[in-house]
Structure 1
Amino acid sequence: MFGEAWVYESIVGALPGVRLSETAAIALQLLIFETGLLLLAWAYDLWNAVPAGTAAVGVAAVGSYLMLKLGESNRTLDVSETYYRLLFGSSIEVVLAVLAFIAVVTHLFVTDPATVGGPAPAAQLLPFPVAVAEEPLVTDLFGASPPTPVVFFALLVLWDLCYRIGTSWWTAVVSLYRELRLTVGPGTALRFRRLDALNVVFAFAQLALVPFITDRPVLLVAMLGHVVAVTVVSGAAIALSLAAER
């Protein structure tokens, strides 16, 4: 499995003495994260952060399901080894996830506090008005002095989300490369188109987080831009696949 799967899949398959089905692995992830969220909310009286935290945990769980489905289905298709080496063996999705995670953390702890209370340039990129936040997002969710365990847990969930975003980006890019450079049979092409469409669903699922960042123009632009980018690139792969069959 190693070198032929994403890092997340490899971790699930490498737990010593444990063999979990996809459903069990996702259910366990959801249980652990949601339980941790509720316990921290109870311990530090941060119930106002529970809706956003639950949405993030839910999106991560959906992402886990779609990652496992995309990974398993991709490995059953007949295509050049180059495709599988790029998709799974390169671990580029981890690099993209690290970059996304660093960018978001930098924004949360540096840019957001420095620009709160005033109009953000990023708001001009949106076709609709955006409310002006009165305090940093971290303060809004966790208070003026966020407890260390809460910040640790929040960053863990954030990393989980960024990893899935990186995977979605890389899946879209490799799919477009596949259609531009590789040849597949008609039956395989149809199944690839379905997987490309599933990746778009993967991206759209993350829109569940939008209600919690409507007054954060930078995060909102980044989220919507991510969904548009994945949709355009995956859509281009689907269009090329359909054109090749005509």
Structure 2
Amino acid sequence: MRADFGDAWVYESIVGAVPGAALSAPVAVGLQIVVFEAGILALAAAYDLWDAVPVGTVAVGVAAVGSLLMLTLGDENRTLDVSPRYYRLLFGSSIEVVLAVLAFSGVVTHLFVVDPAAAGPPAVLLRLLPVAVAPAGEPIVAELFGERPPAPAVFLALVVVWDLCYRIGTSWWTAIVSLYRELRLECGAGTRPRFRRLDALNVGFAFVQLALVPFVADRPVLLAALVGHVVAVTVVSGAAIALSLAAE
């Protein structure tokens, strides 16, 4: 179903606002994959950055799954009998954008400040320790794009990172609102099984993000953030599912 503005996530509003286009979910997601993957391959060929293609391709795939999830959750949520407050919280607040900005800012800070600092000599306090501290490997940006990263490649990488962060922010917010729904709101007859299915889909998307683990396995901060996010969404959405089952 077509979402009205104010009753949809920002991504849905963008898809619905393309002039002259009425894109179905598969077409919108397919177009997203084609555009991003074509950009990745073109820049890899132009700047000999083939080492960056695997992580870029996996990131685009994860983001595409997130897009499909958002469109599915949006369409199905709007058909369920529940308090209007649920819809105002889930769609109208745009909190998912705020969470995405926080996640994106954290990733950028790590990529351009924390990671390069970790790759240099150990900090003064670490030098005082009785055991030697091995220097970290190359910063991620240098490892993927070289010592003098091409601006177009970094630009596209940050767009893909934002795409991921936005979908992660939406997953966070969906889990939180689902738990609030089960704690404070009344649901119509027969809606709880469908809500549980949507909550399970959100957990499934969180687990899809573990496809990124091999690319951050040697980066403790990013690894902890990724795994922590998956655990948090699983716990909160799982609590919502448990409360829903208990209420029947």
TM beyond 0.5: yes
The CA deviation at 1:45 is 0.1
- The alignment partner of 2:191 has SS state of helix
The CA deviation at 1:185 is 3.4
Q: Is the alpha carbon distance of 1:197 and 1:117 closer, same or farther for their aligned partners in structure 2, counting shifts above 3 Å? A: farther
Q: Which runs of 5 or more residues in structure 1 are unaligned?
A: 121-130
CA distance in 1, matches of 2:122, 2:232: 25
Task: Give the AA of the match of 2:144.
Answer: L
Q: Is the alpha carbon distance of 1:215 and 1:132 closer, same or farther for their aligned partners in structure 2, counting shifts above 3 Å? A: farther
In structure 2, the residue matched to 1:17 is 20
Match for residue 155 of structure 1 among 134, 158, 169: 158
In structure 1, the residue matched to 2:144 is 141
Measured on the aligned residues, the alpha-carbon RMSD in Å equals 1.5
The CA deviation at 1:183 is 1.4
Does residue 207 of structure 2 align to residue 204 of structure 1? Answer: yes
Task: Give the AA of the match of 2:235.
Answer: V
The CA deviation at 1:184 is 1.2
User: How does the TM-score come out when normalised to structure 2?
Assistant: 0.92
The Cα offsets for residues 150-209 of structure 1, whole Å up to 9 and x where unpaired, read as 000000000000000000000000000000001113410110000000000111111111
CA distance in 1, matches of 2:218, 2:121: 11
CA distance in 2, matches of 1:144, 1:105: 17
CA distance in 2, matches of 1:182, 1:21: 31
Structure with greater Cα Rg: 2
In structure 1, the residue matched to 2:234 is 231
- Residue-pair matches, total: 235
In structure 1, the residue matched to 2:87 is 84
- 1:74-223 equivalences in 2 (<5 Å): 74-116=77-119, 133-223=136-226
Large movers: runs of 4+ above 6 Å: 117-120
In structure 2, the residue matched to 1:126 is none
In structure 1, the residue matched to 2:129 is none
CA distance in 2, matches of 1:166, 1:16: 27
Q: Is the alpha carbon distance of 1:209 and 1:119 closer, same or farther for their aligned partners in structure 2, counting shifts above 3 Å? A: farther
Identical columns (%): 76
Q: Is the alpha carbon distance of 1:166 and 1:118 closer, same or farther for their aligned partners in structure 2, counting shifts above 3 Å? A: farther
CA distance in 1, matches of 2:30, 2:71: 13
Task: Give the AA of the match of 2:71.
Answer: L
CA distance in 1, matches of 2:147, 2:75: 44
The Cα offsets for residues 93-133 of structure 1, whole Å up to 9 and x where unpaired, read as 0000000000100000000111126899xxxxxxxxxx974
